[in-house]
Structure 1
Amino acid sequence: EIRQSLVLCQNLTLRPYDPQRGIEVGALLGLEDEKGREQWLFLAPDAAGLKVDMVGQMITVITPRSPLGKSLLGKFEGDEVEILVAGARQQFAVTEVI
């Protein structure tokens, strides 16, 4: 339902998750930070920063040009990614990829 709503409302194309290839542009994924906070991201070719409310779930659009987007490419469910933001390290776990 989130998948269809995102495509219909924002005209963004979701790419089916291929567990052999990992996360690619078009992936909808859940991330958890070190403090256990979860967020949903859509990895899109553009429209970075757009926030979409789908059935009560906020989804943030990021691009592969962002530090987080770049670090997510090719990752899989259960993988961890680490980025530097303003000199501070942030770690995230990929909890789900749709």
Structure 2
Amino acid sequence: MTKTAQVIAAILEQLQQTLQQTQDAANEAHQAATHEQSVPETQYDTLGLEASYLAEGQSRRVAELQEAITRFHQLTEKEFGEDDPITLGAQVIVEDEHGNRRHLFLGPDAGGVEVTLDDELITVVSPAAPLGAELVQKYVGDAVHIGQHLYEIVEIG
């Protein structure tokens, strides 16, 4: 299994765990919203309404996670060379002026998810985020801003 396939598998595992937790939370919120004790006793009793808002938000999060999982399953594995531009599926190592490195993976979704592989923390960024958009079509040697720091792209894999 290639390193890219391992990264994608680790991301999918993390997303599946988060999906299960979110589904459980959505079910609990739904049960709370429909429980007989959630029926308002006065016009100011909003417990049931609040629980229904929570259930709705959790249900939306479940749908977002399911979409992210689908997109990662559809992601085609590609080998990247030093002269290739960054596109979806690229593993990118950036380095700041102090030699501190960050390992990034440009995924189709799930920005902010972090996985550890071979003792390396890899952060998923997506093109929808400013950093992900800045990375797309860049090459080794190009500079990118992460927050207030300037990083150089030192490796694409």
Same fold at TM > 0.5 = yes
Listed as ranges, the gaps of 5+ residues in structure 1 are none
Aligned with 1:46: secondary structure? coil
Q: Do 2:11 and 2:113's aligned partners in 1 also have CA atoms closer than 8 Å? A: no
1:28 is matched with 91
1:64 is matched with 127
TM-score w.r.t. length of structure 1: 0.80
RMSD: 1.9
1:37 aligns with 2:100: yes
CA separation in 2, counterparts of 1:48 and 1:17?
Answer: 21
CA separation in 2, counterparts of 1:15 and 1:28?
Answer: 10
Higher relative contact order (CA 8 A, sep 6+): 1
CA separation in 2, counterparts of 1:52 and 1:28?
Answer: 13
Size of the alignment, in residue pairs?
Answer: 93
2:10 is matched with 9
Q: CA deviation at 1:3?
A: 2.5
Q: Do 1:2 and 1:55's aligned partners in 2 also have CA atoms closer than 8 Å? A: no
Aligned with 2:141: secondary structure? coil
CA separation in 2, counterparts of 1:16 and 1:50?
Answer: 22
C-alpha deviations, 1:36-94, integer Å up to 9, x for none?
Answer: 210100011101110000011110001112121111111111111235x4xxx321100
CA separation in 1, counterparts of 2:137 and 2:10?
Answer: 27
Q: 1:97 to 1:38 in 2, by over 3 A?
A: same
Large movers: runs of 4+ above 4 Å: none
| Structure holding more strand per residue | 1
Listed as ranges, the gaps of 5+ residues in structure 2 are 13-71
CA separation in 1, counterparts of 2:128 and 2:97?
Answer: 23
1:80 aligns with 2:81: no
1:48 is matched with 111
Percent of residue pairs identical? 31
Q: CA deviation at 1:15?
A: 2.9
- The structure with the largest alpha-carbon Rg is 2
